[in-house]
Amino acid sequence: MLFRKLFLRLCLALEASQGYGDAKAFTRNLLDNPRYPYKRYFDLAMILLVLLSVALLVYSVDNKEAPWMLWLEDFAVTVFVIEYIARLWIVGDMHHTIIEHMRQTEFLHLPFRLRTAMLEVLRVKWAYVISPLAIIDLLAILPSYRPMRLLRVFLLFRLFKLFRYSRSVHGMTGVLSERRFEFYTLAFFMIFVVIAAASSIYVFEGAMPGSTINSFFDALYWAMVTLSTVGYGDITPHTPEGRVVTLALIVSGIGVLAFSTSIVVAAFQDKLSELREHRVISELERGPLFTVICGFGEVGQVVASKLAESRQRFMIIDLQEDRVRLATKRGYLAVRGDAADNELLETIGLRERVHTLVCATSNDVKNVFITVSSRRMHEGLRIIACAGTREMARKLILAGANHVTSPSQIVGQIAAEFIGRPVAFEAINNILRGERDVLLEALRVDSDTPVCGQTVAEIDFPRRKLLLFGIITTREWSVGDVTNLYPLEDEFCFFFKPPPEFHIEPGDVLIIFGYELSLVHFRRELGAGLFRTGLR
């Protein structure tokens, strides 16, 4: 009774303890979270330790171990034991399960039984203990225990531990395990052939004087060696009956070999893109946030080449194999898949790792779908979508896109300018596209820059060979004519052509035309960084 009370109090204390939770979360990340930055180093260290300890084992076969080797072995085992315990620890939350159980029984006015709760906990832990990877872990440790020295060869199981630390090995086993059905069929067939051949050869030659087959095990060994087309030749049939069996076994052996090869090849063929996807994703998981381009058509290609030019991080998702190949050939990270697939967006880490999503598939319906689902997954994501028609543009905005561009609409705009005012449009277009060396830039004024508090007239833009197009500000500015104020998102306003007496204050964004040279010079003097990320 007292024990139970103490135990429950301990559980509650653990639940409340910040340090315990943090330690557990850290362990979890280190052992199991592929996105955790330090996991890489942990994995690398473990791989080295495994290789080292196996190398020692091999060395000690016909060499005498030096003392430092024993010491290293002990160290490796200690690490493996700690790792095993830690892995067991992070499976489930014992105190949490028990508290949950307590609350449930209290709620239902049932008597609280510690045993049922503990059984629940143990069930979860046991499920982990008997999982293949955990068994490998255990087998890697056990033989170090002196009385079990016989099992020394199991130390080689440590090599299997490498599965844990390398994702590509993991991927391969995954691929093969997906072909379970084919392998079962194959194994069944093989077992049948081997037993049939072994028993017949044993019957024919087992009792013959001078025969090399002395036991049923010899017969099995011979059947297996023949079936695999290895054929050592240490055991050979001597009777005509035995040779007939051999002939049949050789033919079926070729079949088995061909079948198993084709299973493996087909499995990898199917999964090749998935393995590449893993590589792409793990490459993106390091480093800063990135952009995702859905659809590597003409539009996507332009965006990708521009992003690559300015060395920004991005990845491409496309449904068509040849486009993915094209992107890969150009050195971009590309994944074949359907961007409308939530699972894919989830695996690439849309929630945490992506800042901008470009929807540029040629299918409007798909663009809408991608927009809706990615908006749902990530509230703060910037979504730029491509629309075929004007109605579609409206739908995309409704679906949650921040910006929509429509090729046909741009053609319309350009056409109208081409007819109406070709010169003006050419000029604006050049500025917009940053051609020639004239730019339209947005510069944010920080609180401690020299221009703060100065008026537009004092800064004297014309002398600096700059043209002030306008200022983005949040301040109410009602003096004079308000016709030059254009509302933007939120509380921001664009003040076109502010009057000379306008005071510049921190947080304002200046929109300036000018030559690159004068802009750079001005920026140096102003001390304000280029403001490119958004209004805030």
Residues 464-493 that bind another protein (CB under 8 A): 465-467, 469-470, 472, 481, 483-484, 486, 488-489
- The smaller minimum CB distance to another protein, of residues 69 and 307, is found at 307
Give 173 or 389: the residue with its C-beta nearer to another protein.
389
Q: How far is the CB of 372 from another protein (least distance, A)?
A: 19
For another protein, give the closer residue by CB, 210 or 420.
Answer: 420
Select from 441, 508, 526, 528 the one that contacts another protein (CB under 8 A).
Answer: 441
Asked whether position 96 contacts another protein by CB under 8 A, the answer is: no
DSSP state of 529: P
Q: How many residues bind another protein (CB under 8 A)?
A: 77
Contact with another protein (CB under 8 A): which of 17, 261, 269, 413?
413
Q: Quote the Cα angle for 514-515-520, to 5°.
A: 95
Nearer residue to another protein within complex by CB, 245 or 493: 493
Position 532 contacts another protein (CB under 8 A):
yes
- 242-301 residues in contact with another protein (CB under 8 A) are 291, 297-301
Instruction: Give the Cα separation of 332 and 309 in Å (integer).
Output: 11
* The token pair that represents 148 in the structure block: 């079990």
Task: Report how far residue 192's alpha carbon sits from residue 127's, in angstroms, rounded to the nearest whole number.
Answer: 33
What are the backbone dihedrals phi and psi of residue 500, each rounded to the nearest 5 degrees, phi first? -55, -30
Quick one: which of 341, 343, 344, 339 has its CA closest to 320?
339
Non-local (6+) Cβ contacts of 522 within 8 A are: 443, 464, 466, 512, 514
- Taking the complex as a whole, the smallest distance from the CB of residue 470 to another protein amounts, in Å, to 7
Only segment of 62-70, 209-217, 243-251, 509-517 that touches another protein (CB under 8 A): 509-517
Report 99-158 residues binding another protein (CB under 8 A). Answer: none
Q: Interaction with another protein in 331-390: which residues (CB under 8 A)?
A: 356, 358, 360, 384, 386, 388-390
The backbone torsions φ and ψ at residue 389, rounded to the nearest 5 degrees and listed phi first, read -130, 175
Q: Specify the stretch interacting with another protein by CB under 8 A; choose among 26-34, 78-86, 221-229, 413-421.
A: 413-421
Q: What one-character DSSP code corresponds to residue 291?
A: E
Q: CB 87 → another protein: shortest distance, Å?
A: 43
Element (H, E) at 205: helix 180-205
The distance of closest approach from Cβ of residue 285 to another protein in the complex, given in angstroms and rounded to an integer, is 21
Among 193, 307, 452, 459, binds another protein (CB under 8 A): 307
- For residue 293, the Cα-to-chain-centroid distance in whole angstroms is 16
Nearest to another protein of 182, 417 (CB atom): 417
Q: Which two tokens stand for residue 79?
A: 């690490």
Smallest separation (angstroms) from another protein to the CB of 299 = 4
Q: In terms of Cα–Cα distance, which of 388, 407, 418 is closest to 302?
A: 407
Report the C-alpha gap between 430 and 282 in whole angstroms.
39
CB of 168 to another protein, least distance (A): 33
> With contact defined as beta carbons under 8 Å apart, do 368 and 340 qualify?
no
What distance in Å separates the CA atoms of residue 140 and residue 152, rounded to the nearest whole number? 9
Could you tell me which stretch among 52-60, 73-81, 108-116, 400-408 binds another protein (CB under 8 A)? 400-408
Going edge to edge, which strands form the sheet with 403-405? 333-336, 314-318, 290-294, 354-359, 382-386, 403-405
Residue 21 and residue 125: Cα distance in Å, rounded?
19
Question: Per CB under 8 A, does 513 bind another protein?
Answer: yes
Q: Compare residues 54 and 468 and give the one whose CB is closer to another protein.
A: 468
Which alpha helices (H) appear in 111-178, and where do they start and end?
114-129, 132-141, 157-165, 167-178
Nearer to another protein, 133 or 439 (CB): 439
We find the least distance from the C-beta atom of residue 416 to another protein, in angstroms, to be 4
Closer to another protein by Cβ: residue 206 or 297: 297
Kindly identify the residues of this chain, within the stretch 419-438, that bind another protein according to CB under 8 A.
419-428, 432-433, 438
CB-based burial label for 134 (10 Å; 0-12, 13-18, 19+): middle
d(C-alpha 514, C-alpha 200), whole Å: 93
315 binds another protein (CB under 8 A): no
Q: How far is the CB of 476 from another protein (least distance, A)?
A: 19
Residue 304 or 452: the one with the smaller Cβ distance to another protein is: 304
Rounded-to-integer distance, Cα 512 and Cα 471, Å: 9
Q: Which amino acid is at 444?
A: R
Interface residue with another protein among 60, 273, 440, 506 (CB under 8 A) is: 440
Q: Where in 28-87 is the site for another protein (CB under 8 A)?
A: none
Least gap, CB of 340 to another protein (angstroms): 19
Nearer to another protein, 407 or 453 (CB): 407
Q: 164 and 176 in contact (C-beta within 8 Å)? A: no
Of 151 and 535, CB closest to another protein = 535
Least Cα distance to 292 among 381, 364, 210 occurs for 381
* DSSP characters over 248-263: HHHHHHHHHHHHHHHH
Nearer of residues 141 and 359 to another protein, judged by Cβ: 359
Q: Tell me how far apart the terminal alpha carbons of the chain are, to the nearest angstrom.
A: 60
| The only residue of 53, 246, 373, 406 in contact with another protein, by rule CB under 8 A | 406
Q: Check binding of 234 to another protein (CB under 8 A).
A: no
- Considering the complex, state which of residue 266 and residue 424 has its C-beta at the smaller distance from another protein: 424
Is residue 462 a contact point for another protein (CB under 8 A)? yes
In the bound complex, what is the minimum distance in angstroms from residue 394's beta carbon to another protein?
Answer: 14
Distance CA 378, CA 342 (A): 12
User: In the numeric block, which tokens belong to residue 158?
Assistant: 């440590």
